[in-house]
Amino acid sequence: MIRFEHVTKRYPDGTTAVDDLSFEVAEGELVTLVGPSGCGKTTTMKMVNRLIEPTSGQILLGGEDIAAVDPVRLRRRIGYVIQQVGLFPHKTVLENTATVPHLLGWDRKRARDRAAELLDLVGLDPSVYGRRYPDQLSGGQRQRVGVARALAADPPVLLMDEPFGAVDPVVREHLQTEFLRLQSQVRKTVLFVTHDIEEAVRLGDRMAVYGAGRIEQFDTPATVLGAPATPYVADFVGADRGLKRLSVTPIEPADLEQPPVVHLDDPLPEAAARLAAEEARWAVVLDDGDRLHGWIAIPEDGVARDGGSVRDLARRMDAWLPVGAPLKQAFSTMLQHDAGWIAVLDGERFLGVLTPAGLHEALRRSISADSNAVPREGVTLDSVSGA
């Protein structure tokens, strides 16, 4: 969808901002550009909407050389979100969001309906926020309006330059989560500039790690963290990249343990006997429809021979996640619920439980899978983790 072919940008003062860059972003893919300040990320992005012209090389958009496309027409196909959102202060949120549809000549009602739809999509109730002015919004809300405005005319491509850079870490994480949800619905082709490695890992289908003016590695976050291509990348992603991998490693069925399972209406003595036979201290409790209800521990002093059903002693369990959720989420769910294990479901079906030991195993497996699959000369996991 977006293709760079040997693109170089040299500024008149001799600075080479970008040097012989070649890469491709597939349709519907989100690629994060990450690297230290001044390495050429913004220059790369601004060449796509022709705010900056390359010195040499070609950029193709959907197969078409953008040098041959009128810049104004080009920019209508490209949403653009920047850190200083640039909302018009004297226009309402709804009018701001409808800016591009207006420019495209949509009639007033259609443009406003579309703007309201987009505000809704980014989590701002249009009947509440639509009439406000930008200075009546929080920083996070302004960023959401920026995203809604960029999407209003439904452009196939979205350029985002540190869009969440100006908000505090908690709001930033919220915005990232919402943006991922939004992107799963709208599936735009996105170039996303950030200098925050965590953000690049979390959001990118693939990430481009920049050194000075060059891409040092262009790959999935899991591979960049697991097998940095060069010592520079290893250094940039940091010695704690094992931890960062938690964000990109999904829970798989093989990571799960299988504790005894009982049902709410099972007689208690029967359940107690099952636990004793399996030498388990607790069991998972499912309801009639085999959906997760919670867990049960049989008291130390046992249960009466004719003593009721599992329902009487079962406790609710709220710590659960869908299979495929990242290990980081599993870890934070364990901490949040102060739980020694969490249940993992496939839709409504109970699959097993993830324990801290299982989580550790999953992480080790994920790291060694990459180091085996992509041997890199000069960089071993040991040399990096010891760094």
CA distances in angstroms from 360 to 78, 181, 237, 330, 343, listed in the order given: 42, 28, 20, 11, 16
Q: How far is the CB of 76 from ligand ATP (least distance, A)?
A: 24
Q: How far is the CB of 318 from ligand ATP (least distance, A)?
A: 41
The answer to whether 15 contacts ligand ATP (rule: CB under 6 A) is yes
Contact 293, 285 (CB under 8 A): yes
The answer to whether 40 contacts ligand ATP (rule: CB under 6 A) is yes
Q: Residue 341 carries which DSSP code? A: -
Q: How far is the CB of 9 from ligand ATP (least distance, A)?
A: 8
Helix then strand then coil, in percent of the chain rounded to 5, is: 40, 25, 35
Residue 324 burial (C-beta neighbours within 10 Å; 0-12, 13-18, 19+): exposed
CA distances in angstroms from 176 to 116, 128, 141, 164, 236, listed in the order given: 21, 23, 13, 8, 21
Q: How far is the CB of 59 from ligand ATP (least distance, A)?
A: 15
| Minimum CB distance to ligand ATP smaller for 31 or for 115 | 31
| Minimum CB distance to ligand ATP smaller for 39 or for 271 | 39
Residue matched to tokens 């920047």: 82
Specify the stretch interacting with ligand ATP by CB under 6 A; choose among 34-42, 79-87, 233-241, 260-268. 34-42
Q: What is the DSSP string of 46-88?
A: HHHTTSS--SEEEEEETTEEGGGS-HHHHHHTEEEEESS----
- Selected from 2, 7, 43, 155, the binder of ligand ATP by CB under 6 A is 43
Q: Residue 130 carries which DSSP code? A: T
Q: How far is the CB of 16 from ligand ATP (least distance, A)?
A: 8
Q: How far is the CB of 30 from ligand ATP (least distance, A)?
A: 18
| Minimum CB distance to ligand ATP smaller for 19 or for 205 | 19
Specify the stretch interacting with ligand ATP by CB under 6 A; choose among 7-15, 141-149, 229-237, 358-366. 7-15
The answer to whether 185 contacts ligand ATP (rule: CB under 6 A) is no
| Minimum CB distance to ligand ATP smaller for 171 or for 212 | 212
The answer to whether 3 contacts ligand ATP (rule: CB under 6 A) is no
Q: How far is the CB of 243 from ligand ATP (least distance, A)?
A: 24
Report phi then psi at 5, rounded to 5: -125, 105
Phi-psi domain of 169 (left: phi exceeds 0; alpha: psi -120 through 50; beta: other):
alpha
| Minimum CB distance to ligand ATP smaller for 41 or for 75 | 41
- Selected from 6, 11, 364, 387, the binder of ligand ATP by CB under 6 A is 11
Strands 16-25 and 2-10: antiparallel
Residue matched to tokens 């519907």: 28
User: Can you count the helices (H) and strands (E) in the chain?
Assistant: 17, 17
- Selected from 2, 34, 41, 142, the binder of ligand ATP by CB under 6 A is 41
Q: How far is the CB of 161 from ligand ATP (least distance, A)?
A: 8
Residue matched to tokens 């990459």: 370
Binding residues with ligand ATP: total (CB under 6 A): 13
Amino acid (one-letter) located at 95: E
| Minimum CB distance to ligand ATP smaller for 34 or for 74 | 34
Nearest Cα residue to 143 out of 122, 158, 125: 122
Contact 194, 165 (CB under 8 A): yes
**Which tokens sit at 258?**
């299988």
Q: How far is the CB of 264 from ligand ATP (least distance, A)?
A: 56
- Selected from 25, 34, 39, 227, the binder of ligand ATP by CB under 6 A is 39
Q: Residue 257 carries which DSSP code? A: B
Strands 2-10 and 56-61: antiparallel
The answer to whether 32 contacts ligand ATP (rule: CB under 6 A) is no
The answer to whether 17 contacts ligand ATP (rule: CB under 6 A) is yes
3-class secondary-structure state, position 69:
coil
The answer to whether 195 contacts ligand ATP (rule: CB under 6 A) is yes
CA atoms of 273 and 126, how far apart (whole Å): 58
Interaction with ligand ATP in 320-339: which residues (CB under 6 A)?
Answer: none
Interaction with ligand ATP in 280-319: which residues (CB under 6 A)?
Answer: none
- Selected from 42, 217, 249, 355, the binder of ligand ATP by CB under 6 A is 42
Residues at the interface with ligand ATP (CB under 6 A): 11, 13, 15, 17, 35, 37-43, 195
